[in-house]
Amino acid sequence: MGIVSENLRNIREQIKLACEKSGRNADSVRLVAVSKTKPASAVLSALAEGQGLFGENRVQEAREKIPLVAAGGDAQGRDGIEWHLIGPLQRNKVKIAVKLFAMVHSVDSVSLAQELSSRALTIRPLPILIQVNIGGEVQKNGLPPGDTIDAISQMAAFDGVQIKGLMTVPPATQDPQGARPYFKELAELAATIKRLQIPGVEMTELSMGMSHDYTVAVEEGATLVRVGSALFGSRL
């Protein structure tokens, strides 16, 4: 058994245990296999083990890798495959991103949502998540928590995007438990927004948790965990 399939097996088991621990249904969490910097062959190894959802953080890299994966996988795998953009999106890449990705996790401004909407409108409504800078760190992307409701209220008017939920990258902590308060806060913010019942805003997805803290994120309600190095190995 290869290392990717072994890791995948372990991660699935950890997600299942975290779901059991928190009284959640195991199929309420989807694993986003973060394949950034890794070759198409790594994606194909995961695909062969039934992993169909992948995350990339750079449009240009995804643009090169996605066709290679499509050419290398069997027909069944290709049908099931789904790519999510999890990294910052520059305005001049929006047009390509809308074609490559089934979901964009990293929408952090009203103007970016508007641009995505206008590009997606002629193709299909694009599911998006709103990235929140939950720890308020200067170096991190994402809307300040206090600006999020107002921004989402404005984005709700854009017909080309479907606002599905929130995403965050919390401040780095040594202990995975250190991320818990931030995950809780994101879940509470999503619940608050859901109660507002803004037309066109769903709040069914919470994208949070990475290699070192995804089990904590699942316990706090994550529906999408973005796991890279624990699955594909270190990127160093």
Ligand X SMILES: *Cc1c(COP(=O)(O)O)cnc(C)c1O
Binding stretches for ligand X (CB under 6 A): 34, 36, 57, 86-87, 169, 210-211, 226-230
CB of 106 to ligand X, least distance (A): 7
- Report residue 154 as tokens: 């404005």
Between residues 11 and 160, which has the closer beta carbon with respect to ligand X? 11
* Residues across the chain: 236
**Chain center to CA of 49:** 20
Cβ proximity to ligand X: between 97 and 210 the closer is 210
Q: Quick one: which of 143, 141, 165, 127 has its CA closest to 88?
A: 141
Ramachandran category for residue 199: left, alpha or beta (phi over 0 → left; psi -120 to 50 → alpha): beta
Cα three-residue angle 143-146-149, rounded to 5 degrees: 80
Of 34 and 81, CB closest to ligand X: 34
End-to-end CA distance of the chain: 24
Tokens of 176: 């995975």
Minimum distance from residue 217 beta carbon to ligand X (Å): 11
89/160 with CB nearer ligand X: 89
Residue with the shortest CB distance to ligand X: 228
CB of 55 to ligand X, least distance (A): 7
Which residues are registered as beta bridge partners of 206?
166
Nearer to ligand X, 160 or 217 (CB): 217
For the CB of residue 121, give the shortest distance to ligand X in the complex, in Å: 26
Closest distance of CB 134 from ligand X, Å: 13
Of 219, 232, 224, give the one whose Cα is nearest residue 105. Answer: 224
